[in-house]
Amino acid sequence: MLLNDSNYYSDEANREFFSVSQFKSFMSCEARAIAELNGEYKRPVTRALLVGSFVDHYFEGTLDDFMKENPAIFTRKHELRAEFKRANEIIKTVKEDVKFMDSLSGEKQRIFTFDLFGVPWKAKLDSYNPGKAITDLKVVARMYKLPQWRYDIQGAIYQKGVEIVTGEKLPFYLAVVTKEKVMDRDIWQVPQSTLDMALRQVEENIGRYADIKAGLIEPVHCGKCDYCKSIKQASVRNYNELLEV
């Protein structure tokens, strides 16, 4: 399957290829990941996620399309809701930061497909700058929460994918701006040792996830996510389980 902007996020593409988001979905809950692939479950889109997407689409040059596809960002008077006015302020602040903008000066939304650890992958890079770097734009609530989102896995897969396709091993950066009242912003380089460790984690787990995706083995339910809670049946449990959390 040849990927382009129109079909990159399609169900067909998601079934044929692994992606960073799909891999992380399997890490979080295997059962939910399969339910999403089968069209049996769809995670709700929160306004917090939409704010990040608003900023992303601005820098992609596709903000008009995004606004047409997401009427929820407007009030009944067709004015931007407060969160998205804030997103405009984030955009303005970032545009005035020369170093921040320079970090995102590469080719926007470059699509790569490649085979890694025996399975096909797809990746769409925010900023691909041949000979220099791969940079991903992130809009987050607080800077200190970055490691919780495992962007090291994203960087490891992006870096390896670009190396497989081009032969060039590029450093990976996160250009991060916060949604705080006083915005924080920095450009974080993920150390190569951290990327190498994350790639080993991908290698250790992708075989199982690929087998689950192919229907060869059953997925495990995490029992904690909204999907698992939505399909569960009540059971008698030991109260002391709650004391161990």
Give dist(CA 180, CA 93) in Å, integer: 12
Identify the structural domains of the chain with CATH numbers, from first to last: 11-44+97-244 (3.90.320.10)
Give dist(CA 59, CA 54) in Å, integer: 9
- Long-range pairs, 216-221, Cβ under 8 A, ≥24: 219/30, 219/31, 219/33, 219/34, 220/29, 220/30, 220/31, 221/29, 221/30, 221/31
Residues 6 or more apart whose Cβ sits within 8 Å of residue 200: none
Mean pLDDT per block of 10 residues along the chain (245 residues) reads: 94 97 98 97 88 91 91 90 92 95 95 98 98 96 93 98 98 96 96 98 98 98 96 94 84
Q: What are phi and psi of 238, to 5 degrees?
A: -85, 125
Give dist(CA 17, CA 3) in Å, integer: 10
Q: Answer yes or no: are the C-beta atoms of 172 and 155 closer than 8 Å.
A: yes
Instruction: Give the distance between the most distant pair of CA atoms in the chain.
Output: 59
pLDDT of residue 150: 96
Is the overall model pTM greater than 0.85, yes or no?
yes
Please choose, from the candidates 139, 150, 145, 149, the residue with its C-alpha nearest in 3D space to the C-alpha of residue 183. Answer: 139
Give dist(CA 19, CA 44) in Å, integer: 20
Count of beta carbons in the 10 Å neighbourhood of residue 194? 16
For the beta sheet containing 107-116, the strands, ordered from the edge strand earlier in sequence to the opposite edge, are 107-116, 119-129, 133-140, 172-178, 185-189
Segments of 39-132 assigned E as strands: 107-116, 119-129
Q: Tokens 């929160």 belong to which residue?
A: 46
